[in-house]
Amino acid sequence: MNEQAIKKMLGEVLRCVVEEVARQSRGACPAQNAEGDGPIPVELSARHVHLSEKDAIALFGAPLTHARDLSQPGQFLCNERVRIVGPKGVMDNVAILGPSRGHSQVEISKTDARVLGIDAPVRQSGDIAGTPGIILSSKTETIGLTEGVIVASRHIHMTPEDAARFGVSDGELVDVSLNSDRPVVLCDTLVRVSPKFSLAMHIDADEGNASGWNKKVAGTIVARKGK
Ligand SMILES: [Zn+2]
């Protein structure tokens, strides 16, 4: 190869590199480049139940009791456990999270929904209007919920300071890349901002298994979708 051919090839390679760098900087999202942004801890929410005080008393004869704190301030795992019963299957020893809420809610994965025989929709926590019901049992009592079974939509809890750091706002949807052994990008993850929150992304068991989740896995916001 003569000198001219080598120079031409080098010029071509250089042009490709420059174009690629320009392409990447155009495609990169502002949040990714924001100063001070960093990894988001990812926590797996196993199936669980939230109970109204009325339903807790109906099942256990007393209000819920605290077993251990969860990562979100004020939220806790209860000592009480419940059996959930669907038309096709039963799941025992399901965790209850406190404190009590205005309405009872059962959060399961799509896999659980199949086992139970309940067509649970993907919803944000609290958005239970028109969702399917389920039967709940303690050791001694059984109650029926007329609605409240959901597959919780993935979301990120963050403080207003975190939101400023990531350049995002409450209610916004973002795509989040997980740095696991089976890396995935989880699209349309809802950002929830409150001074009462602590920074954590919540995924369900199906999303955790699909992405090879473990406690060390962290997420990075790779795209913003707006509200
Ligand atoms: Zn959450």
pLDDT digits (tens, 9 = 90+) for 47-62: 999 999 999 999 999 9
Ligand 1 centroid from CA 129, angstroms: 19
Judge whether residue 67 has pLDDT over 90. yes
Answer yes or no: is 186 within a domain.
Answer: no
Q: Which of 106, 108, 93 is nearest to 138 (CA)?
A: 93
Gap from CA of 156 to ligand 1 centroid (Å):
7
Can you tell me the mean pLDDT for 71-83?
97
Q: How far is the CA of 69 from the centre of ligand 1 (A)?
A: 14
Kind of pairing between the strands at 218-226 and 155-158? unpaired
Q: How far is the CA of 182 from the centre of ligand 1 (A)?
A: 22
- What's the CA-to-centroid distance between 5 and ligand 1, angstroms? 59
Per the domain annotation, does 90 fall within a domain? yes
Please tell me the predicted confidence (pLDDT) of residue 38: 78
Distance from Cα 37 to the centre of ligand 1, integer Å:
20
How far, in Å, CA of 173 to CA of 99, rounded?
27
52: domain range? 46-152
CA 111 to ligand 1 centroid distance, Å = 19
Identify whether 24 is part of a domain: no
Assign 85 a pLDDT band (cuts: 50, 70, 90): very high
> Stretch 116-127: mean pLDDT, rounded?
97
- Number of domains forming the structure of the chain: 1
Cα(4) to centroid of ligand 1, in Å? 61
- In this structure, of 14-18, 92-96, 124-128, the range with the lowest mean pLDDT score is 14-18
Q: Is residue 221 part of a domain?
A: no
Q: How does pLDDT run across 215-227, given as a tens digit for each residue? A: 999 999 999 988 8
Pair of tokens at residue 164 = 């400023």
Report the Cα 45 to chain-centroid distance in Å: 7
Distance 213 CA to ligand 1 centre (A): 16
Distance from the CA of 193 to the center of ligand 1, in angstroms? Answer: 11
78 pLDDT exceeds 60? Answer: yes
Whether the predicted pLDDT of 33 surpasses 90: no
Separation of CA 192 and ligand 1 centre (Å) = 9
Q: How far is the CA of 157 from the centre of ligand 1 (A)?
A: 6
Is residue 191 domain-resident? no
Question: 142 in a domain, yes or no?
Answer: yes
By DSSP bridging, strand 90-101 and strand 48-52 are parallel
Pairing type for strands 155-158 and 184-193 reads parallel
Measured distance between the N- and C-terminal CA atoms of the chain, rounded to whole angstroms: 56
Q: Does residue 88 carry a pLDDT above 50?
A: yes
Q: Is residue 130 part of a domain?
A: yes
| Ligand 1 midpoint to CA 22 (Å) | 37
Q: What percent of the chain lies above the pLDDT cut of 90?
A: 82
Checking 59-67 for CB contacts under 8 A at 24+ apart, the result is 59/136, 59/137, 59/138, 59/141, 59/143, 60/138, 60/141, 61/140, 61/141, 63/100, 64/96, 64/98, 64/99, 64/100, 66/98
**Structure-model confidence comparison of residues 30 and 121, the more confident one:** 121
Spell out where the chain has E strands: 40-45, 48-52, 66-69, 76-85, 90-101, 105-107, 122-123, 134-137, 142-145, 149-152, 155-158, 173-178, 184-193, 200-204, 218-226
Judge whether 28 lies within some domain: no
Q: Tell me what pLDDT residue 35 has.
A: 41
